[in-house]
A and B are shown apart, each in its own frame.
Chain A
Amino acid sequence: MTLAGWIVMLLSVGGTTAFFFWCIRRVLRPPGSTGKIHGVLDTELEIEEEERKRRREGRGS
């Protein structure tokens, strides 16, 4: 086994194993220990919706 082979194996196997266990750790974290992420997009969409409503109301009056 060459040095490059060792590097590829450690990166591939180590990377996928670490990635999997990182995910599992996040999943098994007790509820409430992490805040739910409501992305910026949520806020953006809500703002857009608000603006649309305001415009409609403005036209109506």
Chain B
Amino acid sequence: MSKQSPENWSSKIGVILAVTGSAVGLGNFLRFPGLAAKYDGGAFMIPYFIALLLIGLPLAWAEWAMGRYGGTRGFHSAPGIFRVLWKNPAAPYLGVLGLIVPVVIYMYYVFIESWCLGYAWHYLTGALDLGRDPEAYKTFFGNYVGIGADASIFSNIFGAPLIFLVICIALNFILINRGLTRGIELFCLWAMPALAVCAVLVLIRVLTLGTPDPSKPELNVLNGLGQMWNLDAGNKSLWEQLANGKMWMEAAGQIFFSLSVGFGVIITYASYMRRNDDIALSSTTAVAGNEFFEVSLGGMITVPAAFVFLGAAGAVGGTFALGFNTLPLVFDQMPLGQLVGFLWFFLLFLAAITSSISMLQPAIAFLQEGLGLNRGRAVALLCGVGTLGTLLIVWFSKDLAAMDTLDFWVGTFCIYLLACAQTLIFGWIFGTKRGLEELGRGADIRIPRLFAFVIKYISPVYLLIVFVVWAWQDVGSRLDDFSESAAVRWSLIFLIGVFVLFLWWIRIAVKRWRAQEARS
């Protein structure tokens, strides 16, 4: 139970924008369109929407309900909330995942965020006008992030990559230090509409491109939209495409990561809701907002823009390749391309920073309620730990090995674990009856009763299948990397160190909470 003064969101729209901002990130604008294009356009949407209904929405509702339940009992972090929900000595220690996941993801996410801000600045100053040679953009990106050699960014202390990184770290900690309402909520109240405006402006530019090269009439906007949405873009029938198991896994993964369920953030944000506040409509709106940014905006911009200038081959790619190599090449060939490039990377920066500040709040809440630190000290301590991790990632920049390692073990593996744990706690320990009662209190909409069945039986099974298949495919090769790469070794040693540190802090917190409970 916290002795801190109780913090609450100041408005309903504020909390919705904060949660939506946490969920909307680079994945909405780059990963989702890349996946849809990879899996032959529109067929991808079938497993995508099924996963939204069976994993995304139920887990979001469960997290909001558990978070508010814990929050009204004085806890705002996963260890405290799990301890309230599950009367088992192991419960608060399981909550370590709800701290580690957001904090470690923040460590590399802030680096990516700084690339977006840096690219936006370079577009504004005209430094990213590199002509029509694809290699020029690859080289620029490689040099910017230090992909060629470890620590290469540090060769110029006053270079743009480090300056923008320092700006982003400072911005994050200044905002988080201002608190929940004056920092996170106020920032999201203007950043999310600004993000939507930037996205709509870029969308209008893309949809009005027509046929930019008359000598290639097939490369037009309509065919670009077809590349994204046609059911048979890859000359396969719909049924052949739906028989592809990997597409179902990736669709479930996209929904899961895009909505930030299993991140440890929603449970903390929801804990600042008042007892009789609506959470049913707020959680549904946050999910709907994320889907709007992902499907309605992300799905209409990236692939059509890349197709119109580069053809079908240019519209497929990973998140970084599509975002930082392909699209700058596209902007170069587009009328008003420098302005669109600025808007695009500024919107990615806004999407990234509204996510990264949310990743800090769970640990700040824990340091305050668990160790009794005031907000300033909690922010300073987390700033130290977070910056140390970011420096490790920036140092081991060759092939982005450290970032890739932490993204795999924390940004994927631990998220699955946390989501499975949360689903089981909600469905089988806290109980769907109490869960529905919590969701129903003060609700502005009615959550379907079928939700209880889905979250208890369907979601855990779906999640476990996705997790086991994914682990079967990928974990073995990752373990081999440990002996082959110093960057992987140091990243994992650092990760274990952070785990131990947080477990130790949880131990102290549990002792403090027990002592407080004994006194009262």
Binding site for B on A (CB under 8 A): 1-2, 4-6, 8-9, 12-13, 16-17, 19-20, 22-24, 26-28, 34, 36-39, 41-42, 45
Contact, CB under 8 Å: B299 / A12: yes
Residues of B within 8 A of A20 (CB): 285, 288-289, 291-292, 296
Asked if A27 meets B42 with Cβ closer than 8 Å, knowing A5-B231, A16-B292, the reply is no
Interface residues of B in 287-329 (CB under 8 A from A): 288-289, 291-292, 294-296, 299-300
Contact, CB under 8 Å: A16 / B229: no
Contact, CB under 8 Å: A26 / B222: no
Q: List 26 A-B contacts (CB under 8 A).
A: A1-B222, A1-B223, A2-B230, A4-B230, A5-B233, A8-B45, A8-B229, A8-B230, A9-B225, A16-B295, A16-B296, A17-B292, A19-B291, A20-B291, A23-B284, A23-B289, A26-B285, A27-B282, A27-B444, A36-B443, A37-B445, A38-B441, A39-B446, A41-B436, A41-B437, A42-B440
Asked if A37 meets B444 with Cβ closer than 8 Å, knowing A12-B295, A16-B295, A19-B291, the reply is yes
Residues of B within 8 A of A8 (CB): 41-42, 45, 229-231
Residues of B within 8 A of A2 (CB): 226, 230-232
Pick the 6 closest A-B CB pairs, nearest first.
A39-B440, A8-B42, A1-B226, A5-B230, A23-B285, A20-B292
Among residues of A, the one whose C-beta sits closest to the C-beta of B295 is A16
Residues of A within 8 A of B282 (CB): 27
Contact, CB under 8 Å: A13 / B281: no
How many residues of chain B have a CB within 8 Å of chain A? 45
Among residues of B, the one whose C-beta sits closest to the C-beta of A23 is B285
Residues of A within 8 A of B280 (CB): 37
Asked if A28 meets B13 with Cβ closer than 8 Å, knowing A4-B42, A5-B42, A5-B225, the reply is yes
Q: Which of B229, B281, B285, B437 contacts A9 (CB 8 A)?
A: B229
Q: Which of A24, A26, A42, A45 contacts B445 (CB 8 A)?
A: A26
Asked if A5 meets B13 with Cβ closer than 8 Å, knowing A26-B281, A36-B444, A37-B440, the reply is no
Least CB distance, B44 to chain A, in whole angstroms: 10
Q: Which of A6, A16, A45 contacts B437 (CB 8 A)?
A: A45
Q: Which of A6, A27, A38 contacts B16 (CB 8 A)?
A: A27
Least CB distance, A17 to chain B, in whole angstroms: 5
Residues of A within 8 A of B446 (CB): 37, 39
A-B pair count, CB < 8 Å, reads: 111
Q: Which of B233, B288, B299, B433 contacts A23 (CB 8 A)?
A: B288
Among residues of B, the one whose C-beta sits closest to the C-beta of A35 is B444
Least CB distance, A51 to chain B, in whole angstroms: 15
Least CB distance, B173 to chain A, in whole angstroms: 30
| Assembly CA distance A17 to B297 (angstroms) | 9
Residues of B within 8 A of A9 (CB): 42, 225, 228-229
Query: Which of B16, B49, B292 has the most C-beta atoms of chain A within 10 angstroms of its own C-beta?
Result: B292
Asked if B278 lies at the interface with its beta carbon under 8 angstroms from chain A, I say yes
Asked if B377 lies at the interface with its beta carbon under 8 angstroms from chain A, I say no
Asked if B142 lies at the interface with its beta carbon under 8 angstroms from chain A, I say no
Contact, CB under 8 Å: B288 / A38: no
Q: Taking A34-B444, A39-B440, A45-B433 as given, write out 7 further A-B residue pairs in contact, using a Cβ cutoff of 8 Å, ordered by the A residue number.
A: A6-B229, A12-B299, A16-B292, A19-B292, A20-B285, A22-B288, A28-B13
Asked if B47 lies at the interface with its beta carbon under 8 angstroms from chain A, I say no
Asked if B442 lies at the interface with its beta carbon under 8 angstroms from chain A, I say yes
| Assembly CA distance A61 to B296 (angstroms) | 65
Contact, CB under 8 Å: B440 / A41: yes
Asked if B182 lies at the interface with its beta carbon under 8 angstroms from chain A, I say no
Residues of B within 8 A of A41 (CB): 433, 436-437, 440
Contact, CB under 8 Å: B288 / A19: yes
Asked if A42 meets B229 with Cβ closer than 8 Å, knowing A5-B42, A20-B288, the reply is no
Contact, CB under 8 Å: B444 / A26: yes
Residues of B within 8 A of A26 (CB): 281, 285, 444-445
| Assembly CA distance A40 to B199 (angstroms) | 42
Contact, CB under 8 Å: A13 / B300: yes
| Assembly CA distance A37 to B436 (angstroms) | 12
| Assembly CA distance A44 to B300 (angstroms) | 47
| Assembly CA distance A39 to B447 (angstroms) | 9
Residues of B within 8 A of A4 (CB): 42, 230-232
Asked if B12 lies at the interface with its beta carbon under 8 angstroms from chain A, I say yes
Among residues of A, the one whose C-beta sits closest to the C-beta of B435 is A41
Least CB distance, B279 to chain A, in whole angstroms: 12
Among residues of A, the one whose C-beta sits closest to the C-beta of B42 is A8
Asked if A37 meets B225 with Cβ closer than 8 Å, knowing A17-B296, A45-B437, the reply is no
